[in-house]
Chain A
Amino acid sequence: MTHDAVLLLSIIILLTPLLSFLINVFFGGKLGKISGIIGTSILGIDFVMAIVVAFTKLVTYPDIHTIQTRFEWISLGPIKVVIGYGIDNIAAMMLIVVTLISFLVHLFSTEYMSDDRRYPKFYAYLGLFTFSMLGIVIANNFLLMYMFWELVGISSYLLIGFWYEKNSASNAGKKAFITNRIGDLGFFTGIMILYMTYGTFMFDEVFAGISSGVMPFNSPTFLTLAGIGIFLGAMGKSAQWPLHVWLPDAMEGPTPVSALIHAATMVAAGVYLVAKVFAMFTADALTFIAAIGTITAFVSATIAITQVDFKKVLAYSTVSQLGFMIMSLGVGGYTNGFFHLVTHAWFKAALFLAAGSVIHAMHHAMHHMHDHHTDPQDINNMGGLRKTMPWTYRTFLFVTLALSGVPLTSGFLSKDGLLAGTLAYANLTGGWHWIIPVMGFAAAGMTAFYMFRLTIVAFHGEPKTKIASHTHENKSVILIPLIVLSVLSLWFFYSPTPIDGSKGWVHRLVVQPASAVPAAYQWSFLLPEHAGEASPAMHAEGEGHEAAATEELHHEAQPAAHATTHAYLNKFQEESHHFHYIAMFLSVLIAGGAIGLAFMIYQYKVISADKLEARLKFLHTFSLNKWYFDELYQATVIAGTVALSKMLSWFDTYIVDGLVNLSAYITRGFSFITGLFDNHVIDGAVNLIANTTGFVGARLRKVQTGHIQTYLVFVLVGLLVLLYYFSINF
């Protein structure tokens, strides 16, 4: 395929879900159940096209950074806005992720949502969401990115609040939207800083501007600020601390929606954005990003341990994993971060769909038993589902292993590389930066622990309620997506060896872009290495890696990289390779320990969970209440806003009004006098203007008498007046 064909096909991929939206929104009422079939098949076609595009890009043109097009959108004198779209390697991979998961969610929903009376509308929203998400994927400029970013915000609002009859659902939709808006404010500010400086929205032009040494307001601080602003947008969408509060609430939406937007697509958009504009972050901005990612990963992992709502555990787990990705990008592990995004997308979508399967089964059992009070999502009402829902259990267990980072899974490959990166980073920078790997490993351990807690409590043991014992395995429409997604979490899709992700194709194709920031403002270890500085240690590495690394060099456009004597792009990669085995050892140890602990507590009850809870009462409550973030915001931001508004209102009522009243008393005296003048002169003038328009119109209307004779007279008179006027004046 030629470049033009790739571009044409990508725009078709973008617009196809929109077609699904239009069909379902306009004809949904008539289509009824058929709308699901239409939506699903449209997405199926879209997925096939995405595969074609992605393979063309990844196999035929892996070396071309971006196949892109640009065109002038607005040109008003000096103001020119150029936009466009393009496919680079990460966009190609994201196309597959988005379309496949969207397709599977469409398929899953045909059964899951079949009882809903707004069924066609659901498919319409899914189509709109997929469209906006694909727009983010193929945008190659800030402007389009921002537009689709907002579209994603709107469509996710519609999906989260889909059951708007439930107060909590509509509140969750609002919360998600507003929290995202806070982040978007930063995003917008960042974009505006860049546009004012470089006069363009295109990524590559902005990067070129930065690398030419032009700084916003002549200060690298503002470049950092622009970077942090854009990252704020990413924080909103990717639910990074402290803007993470919306995601757990968003679990009020239908579960397939959670699988689509809270596992793989919308929340990944933030990570994707950071990856796309990675070249513009200064060292300071990257440190900020790393810190936020680490805090998010750690905090949400601690919260996930105590949650009892099936979906909430998964939600906090998602936040935590997103924190990992952001952390990895922040420490300079670009490839690892993106790799984790892809692998996480598969197994987290699988986890959510499995949750959907369980909830669906619980619902059916409740319906069967005429029980409408039990919470179908509370894991303490489950138990023993392993026997009643064997396929759901198997897939769930497998993807739990993947998420916990157990070898032979994709999660192991990506998380291991990611943690090795944090160790390398800490080693290269030293000092307090060691906190990052420590918290990272801790969070990884907690991940394994809470996931197995969830698995054991929900699936193992005896049924805790009658409902749980009456559940049945779901139809194959629900199971197929689960199986497909869990198969995709096997290691061999990504790497020939189950222990080292960096030997796989992802590392070959997703190459860290050279930073556009002048060398003085970026981490020295991320600078491309020069030939003379090659360390002898790297020659000891295996031949396979040598080959892969030369490939990397081949992709890299930097002239310095053409040197042949060394295999690493920069010190960071060299260092993270050294830490690879340490990280692998540590993470296997920690995950294994955490899994063992979970089994001891919840399966074999060697350690009593209740006693542990009682002993760690404070920590437990703190975690159960999600570190009181909602309460904190209630007490600070919301209460602050309310207080401020009350204060302003008080100020208004007493001070301003008082002054106004005072002046009013004074003026009243005058006004009594001027009132007369006013009534008769000023009002008269205002009314005159208002009425004149109408009056003149009404008079002019009278000119149109309907008699051709008068018309002609008017024409002649008009002509003479014009003649007279212009012969006198000009």
Chain B
Amino acid sequence: MMDLNYITEDLIKSVGQFLPETALIITFLVAMMADILFKRSKHLTGYIAMAGLVIAGFLLYHQTGVNFKGFANMLVIDAFGQFMKYIVLLSSLIIIIFSFYSDELHAAHSRLGEYYTLIIGMTFGMMLLVGSSNLIMIYLAIETMSISSYILAGYTKEVKRASEASLKYVIFGAVSSGIMVYGISIMFGLTGSLNLFDINQYLASHQVDHLPLLISGLLIVAGFGYKISAVPFHFWTPDVYEGAPITITAYLSVASKAAGFAVMLRFFKTTFFGADQLLDGTWHLLGSINWHYVVAALAILTMTLGNLVALWQSNMKRMLAYSSIAHAGYLLMAVSVMNDGGVSAVLIYFFFYMLMNLGAFFVVQLVSNKLHTEDIEAYSGLGYRSPLIGVALTIFLISLTGLPPTAGFIGKLYVFTSVIDAGYYWLAVVGVLNSVVSLYYYVKVIRNMYLRDIESKEDKLVFSPSAIVIVFVLAVPTLIFGMYFTPIVEWANFSMNIFIGN
């Protein structure tokens, strides 16, 4: 049985490239056992999880420069995946640190061990998703991360809206997976394969009907769209973001989006990439469907709806939820150009988005710890009640708006540059108009902090020094990368080539 030996060899070779994920699995098991054995220690599993993430990051670092297809072409290791995995690991690490400061998690829970364990589980799912190059693998990875995130969203089950959020999330997720599996099955019927590389081969050598390919592609994209909360698959987002603990909201808005965008880009490039590629980095797409316009339409819908509805929100978490939908729209703009420059813009934007969005959520969490509300009105006079936190939140919000001299500006600059380079001026115009709209609701918070209800400023809010340090660990890079961003840009340019085999 020659075949079998070949498979075994492939497996053994692949396991060698699977070390970061393996580290996460081991962390998961160790954290689980530690949770049972040392019930009294509150944060032990948290520390184990952090150690596991750091080790995984270290192992990931050792994959620099590796381009590899493993596990019978189910997983791909490449620089692009590495970048996204770094973002996933880093945001998981930051979220665990945030969780140490979260009052709502600590209120009445002896189950914190499970919480940290599930974060590791979710991280594992996202790491898989980033590298998946097989439709079944994609589906499994999405489920792995989703199931963990369902539980995490409803982690504070005593809070009614949390359980409600969790249940909605489960149902919505189930329907979306169903839609996606339907698309996968049509794709399988059309091309006879689940492997993206094989599908690519088939599309290159055969004529495929327009409508079935569109339907299957759109249904699969719907599955990704649900993860990145693109309109019209976004409906779960505001409810779940509002109901879930703030840490998890922040986590969903960054890490799971990163994984979603990674798999979306990989899917488009691996599946539809024509071999007769143009020299300027533009992808020549196979098949008769103009995916540029499909994604651009999603982008316009997503950012417009996100921004318009965010205007009306009075709850900070909900406002940030819609804002994160809008940001998904900006990112989709860069996806829609479907060239290497666009990929690079997505990576740059994501790195900065991680910093500023996590920072904003952490401030919301700290304020909610003190004031027990997430109402935007409650932020009145915050700039005077706690100057440092006020300054930091201002930096994050300005960065989210995309004004200089912050990292958010640079991210947007690269996104718009990639769109304009590709010649989609109308898309850039819509994006800029949307940015203008977004200015209103971000600045509303800043105005509340500094210009309203100043008489209550004598009522100082005191935060623990370590929390303030963490806020500034995120705020200072947001400023610095707004001025000196070359390293990130170079890193992204190094990582923008998605490995498509040889």
Contact = CB atoms under 8 A, between A and B. Distances in A.
Establish whether A and B are touching in the complex (CB under 8 Å): yes
Interface of A: 71-77, 693-694, 696-698, 700-701, 703-704, 706, 708, 711-712, 714-715, 717-719, 722-723, 725-727, 729-730
B219 interface: yes
A723 B308 contact: no
Most chain A beta carbons < 10 A, residue from B232, B236, B298, B437: B232
B268 interface: no
B473 interface: no
B311 interface: yes
B488 to A, nearest CB: 11
Most chain A beta carbons < 10 A, residue from B176, B214, B219: B214
A202 to B, nearest CB: 16
Contacts of A71: 486
Interface string B153-189: 0000000000000011001100110010000000000
Contact of A700 (B293, B308, B413, B486): B308
Interface in B209-229: 210-211, 214-215, 218-219, 222
B71 interface: no
B297 A715 contact: no
Interface of B: 167-168, 171-172, 175-176, 179, 210-211, 214-215, 218-219, 222, 231-233, 235-236, 238-239, 289-290, 293-294, 297-298, 305, 308-309, 311-312, 413, 417, 421, 437, 484-486, 489-490
A77 B416 CA distance: 13
Contacts of A696: 308
Nearest to A721: B232
19 contacts: A74-B485, A75-B486, A75-B489, A77-B417, A694-B311, A697-B311, A700-B305, A708-B172, A715-B175, A715-B176, A715-B232, A715-B235, A718-B233, A719-B218, A719-B219, A719-B222, A722-B218, A727-B211, A730-B290
Nearest to B170: A708
B233 A715 contact: yes
Contacts of B311: 693-694, 697
Contact of B235 (A704, A719, A723, A726): A704
B308 A693 contact: yes
Nearest to B239: A706
B379 to A, nearest CB: 21
A701 B168 CA distance: 18
Contact of B413 (A76, A693, A701): A76
Contacts of B239: 704, 706
Nearest to B298: A722
A340 to B, nearest CB: 37
Given A697-B309, A708-B171, A719-B232, A726 B294 contact: yes
A706 B305 CA distance: 17
Contacts of A729: 293
Contacts of B308: 693, 696-697, 700
Contacts of B210: 727
B175 A74 contact: no
Given A71-B486, A708-B171, A698 B235 contact: no
A708 B235 CA distance: 8
A17 to B, nearest CB: 19
Contacts of A730: 289-290, 293-294
Q: What are the 8 A-B residue pairs with the smallest beta carbon separation, nearest first?
A: A718-B232, A711-B235, A697-B308, A730-B290, A697-B311, A708-B168, A72-B486, A700-B309
Given A77-B417, A715-B222, A723-B218, 12 more contacts: A73-B484, A75-B489, A76-B417, A708-B167, A708-B172, A712-B171, A715-B179, A717-B232, A722-B294, A726-B294, A727-B210, A727-B211
Contacts of A72: 486, 490
Contacts of B171: 708, 712
A562 B30 CA distance: 72
A200 to B, nearest CB: 16
Nearest to B289: A730
Contacts of A703: 235
Contacts of B489: 75
B85 to A, nearest CB: 25
Given A73-B486, A76-B413, A719-B232, A693 B437 contact: yes
Nearest to A704: B238
Contacts of B417: 76-77
Nearest to A700: B309
A698 B312 contact: yes
B310 to A, nearest CB: 8
A510 B218 CA distance: 71
B236 A711 contact: yes
A394 B186 CA distance: 98
B330 to A, nearest CB: 18
Contacts of A726: 214, 218, 289, 293-294, 297
Nearest to A709: B171
Contacts of A74: 485-486
A391 B172 CA distance: 86
A717 B437 CA distance: 27
B485 to A, nearest CB: 8
B486 A704 contact: no
Contacts of B235: 703-704, 711-712, 714-715
A534 B47 CA distance: 78
Contacts of A706: 239
Contacts of B219: 719
A77 B489 CA distance: 12
Nearest to B341: A77
Contacts of A708: 167-168, 171-172
A725 B171 CA distance: 27
Nearest to B489: A75
B192 to A, nearest CB: 23
A708 B211 CA distance: 30
